[in-house]
Chains A and B, each alone.
Chain A
Amino acid sequence: MTEVSVTKDAIPPGADDLVVLKNVNKHFGALHVLQDIDLTIARGEVVVVIGPSGSGKSTLCRAINRLETIDSGDISIDGKPLPQEGKELARLRADVGMVFQSFNLFAHKTVLENVTLGQTKVRKTGKAEAEEKARRLLDRVGVAAQADKYPAQLSGGQQQRVAIARALAMDPKVMLFDEPTSALDPEMINEVLEVMQQLARDGMTMIVVTHEMGFARSAANRVVFMADGRIVEEAVPDQFFSNPRSDRAKDFLSKILKH
């Protein structure tokens, strides 16, 4: 506590912490899906969360923008604790981009409208400006030619890249990816991963739940390994993949890296 007064004039410790989870717990009925989770993500950091199914990775990801509520503990984003459901939470969510496993593009809107809707409705950007930005982002993720189509007319990989553009259109502080490639045909996984790698290189803060170990190796600053609702191990990718400390991680890696 005394440190507070000492460091007051200097940069406070952890000033660059963007997402902070402290002692987070959540139950689904009898299942204790998140157990005492402590996790801090710094600005510009790319954290990849891996682990067996049912380990709580997706729930963790969804809890960060409160699509899942938590039973106890604290989550704060850019120094602000997550508010209750309402206008303030909506404002905070606008700063947190989310990409879903099943894309969830608005089915009744064109690709372009998908990317402009948040800008005009939430950020109150003018229509022309929003469209220009949307086209720029669609170009960046390589689907500019599909702007006037409906989501159902696109391949899975294209849809997911549009979903990334939709999230980026809000100028988020952090991007959450909840298994973004798990619903894709193998040949389409790379086009999505390339967009994500580019984002990581551009300095975006990212939390990525994935089974793509290649992506974790190449793009992550840190790998978080979860099992049974706990964070079992945290390490830089090289160390984690070549020399995992915990038996649970060794077991997991031996199963997925065999083939």
Chain B
Amino acid sequence: MRIAVRTGAGAPCPTTAAHEDIPVNVLLDHLAEFREGFIGTVWLTVASSVLALLLGVVLAGFRVSPVPPLRFFGAAWVTLFRNTPLTLLFLTIWFAVPQVFDFGFDPWTKALIVLSVYTSSFVCEAVRSGINTVPLGQAEAARSIGMTFFQTLGSIVLPQAVRTVLPPLSSIFIALTKNSAIAGAFSVTELFGWQKVLSDQGFAIAWLFLWVALGYLVITFTISGLFRLLERSLEVAR
């Protein structure tokens, strides 16, 4: 909305001469690319959030399961991916993994995999801490009427854990949004990459950063808003 309002003042001068001085023009003249980058970031964030959430919940299930190999797998996954720098994971899947076996994934898919796997380790721990806040008696009661481990987890424990898990999950997904900027350095079309292309062309870097930052703010504010709505809607259901 803000951009559209300013358009009235800045738009009549599309020539290149004054570009450096009018920050809005950098954005307006490259709006198509900016939009593409913005959508790229949104799409990458949403896709990796969904995948990370699914993976994280399954892993948390593993970590509290009565089967030792599953518990071990979950713990190993979290230890490995939570403690490795994200950039190193990007480098690994870009350069090391293809040397062993080339899956032929495009950059976007690779970025999706890295971001989901990395974030899933954090989601797993958030969900696990939520599970631990549900009194043990709830699971015991479920087991005592003959529910299996997965029924107990799915119908009794996880629904009661959701409320406690929401605030940390919101932080994790906001971090994921910002982490997706690393993908830009690996030639995935997203918001941060837009800035890189233009600053290489000599546009004023401070203004580019401002627009990029605003783009990220829109996404992260949306995430925290959504989570606040979710939290409020769950408050009544008790």
B159: Cβ under 8 A from any A Cβ? yes
Please name the residue on chain B nearest to A85 by beta carbon. Answer: B66
Q: Which of B99-107, B138-146, B209-217 contacts A (4 or more CB under 8 A)?
A: B138-146
Selected contact of B146 from candidates A67, A85, A91, CB within 8 Å: A91
B206: Cβ under 8 A from any A Cβ? no
> Which residues on A sit within 8 Å (CB–CB) of B137?
100, 102, 104
B237: Cβ under 8 A from any A Cβ? yes
C-alpha gap A117/B142 in the complex (Å): 9
Which B131-158 residues sit within 8 Å CB-CB of chain A? 135, 137-138, 140-149, 151, 155-156
C-alpha gap A53/B220 in the complex (Å): 55
A94: Cβ under 8 A from any B Cβ? yes
Which A112-135 residues sit within 8 Å CB-CB of chain B? 117-118, 121-122
A241: Cβ under 8 A from any B Cβ? no
Please name the residue on chain A nearest to B234 by beta carbon. Answer: A108
B143 contacts A107, CB within 8 Å?
no
> Which residues on B sit within 8 Å (CB–CB) of A122?
145-147, 151
A90 contacts B237, CB within 8 Å?
no
C-alpha gap A167/B140 in the complex (Å): 13
C-alpha gap A118/B156 in the complex (Å): 11
C-alpha gap A180/B141 in the complex (Å): 14
C-alpha gap A94/B143 in the complex (Å): 8
B141 contacts A100, CB within 8 Å?
yes
The minimal Cβ–Cβ distance linking B139 to chain A, given in whole angstroms, is 9
C-alpha gap A91/B147 in the complex (Å): 8
C-alpha gap A132/B147 in the complex (Å): 21
C-alpha gap A29/B144 in the complex (Å): 25
C-alpha gap A107/B142 in the complex (Å): 12
> Which residues on B sit within 8 Å (CB–CB) of A85?
66, 149
B2: Cβ under 8 A from any A Cβ? no
B160: Cβ under 8 A from any A Cβ? yes
A108 contacts B237, CB within 8 Å?
yes
> Which residues on B sit within 8 Å (CB–CB) of A117?
145, 155
Selected contact of B143 from candidates A90, A105, A163, A170, CB within 8 Å: A90
Please name the residue on chain B nearest to A169 by beta carbon. Answer: B145
Given A107-B238, A108-B238, A121-B155, answer yes or no on A87-B148 (Cβ-Cβ < 8 Å). yes
The minimal Cβ–Cβ distance linking B145 to chain A, given in whole angstroms, is 4
C-alpha gap A92/B148 in the complex (Å): 11
Please name the residue on chain A nearest to B136 by beta carbon. Answer: A104
> Which residues on B sit within 8 Å (CB–CB) of A67?
140, 143-144
| In the complex, per-residue mask of B159-185: 1 if CB is within 8 Å of any chain A CB, else 0 | 110000000000000000000000000
C-alpha gap A102/B151 in the complex (Å): 22
C-alpha gap A108/B235 in the complex (Å): 11
C-alpha gap A104/B2 in the complex (Å): 54
Selected contact of B147 from candidates A98, A121, A163, A167, CB within 8 Å: A121
C-alpha gap A104/B145 in the complex (Å): 12
| In the complex, per-residue mask of A81-101: 1 if CB is within 8 Å of any chain B CB, else 0 | 000010100111111111010
A94 contacts B238, CB within 8 Å?
no
B140 contacts A104, CB within 8 Å?
yes
B143 contacts A108, CB within 8 Å?
no
Which residues of B are interface residues toward A (Cβ below 8 A)? 66, 135, 137-138, 140-149, 151, 155-156, 159-160, 237-238
Identify 9 new A-B residue pairs, CB closer than 8 A, beyond the known A85-B149, A90-B148: A90-B147, A93-B143, A98-B145, A100-B140, A104-B135, A104-B141, A106-B142, A108-B237, A152-B238
Which residues of A are interface residues toward B (Cβ below 8 A)? 65, 67, 85, 87, 90-98, 100, 102, 104-108, 117-118, 121-122, 150, 152, 163, 166-167, 169-170
Q: Which 5 A-B pairs have the closest CB atoms?
A: A94-B146, A118-B145, A104-B141, A104-B137, A98-B144
Contact sample, A vs B, 28 pairs, CB 8 Å cutoff: A65-B144, A67-B140, A85-B66, A85-B149, A87-B148, A92-B146, A93-B143, A93-B144, A94-B145, A94-B146, A96-B144, A98-B145, A100-B140, A100-B141, A104-B141, A107-B138, A108-B238, A118-B145, A118-B146, A121-B151, A122-B145, A122-B146, A150-B238, A152-B238, A166-B145, A167-B144, A169-B145, A170-B145
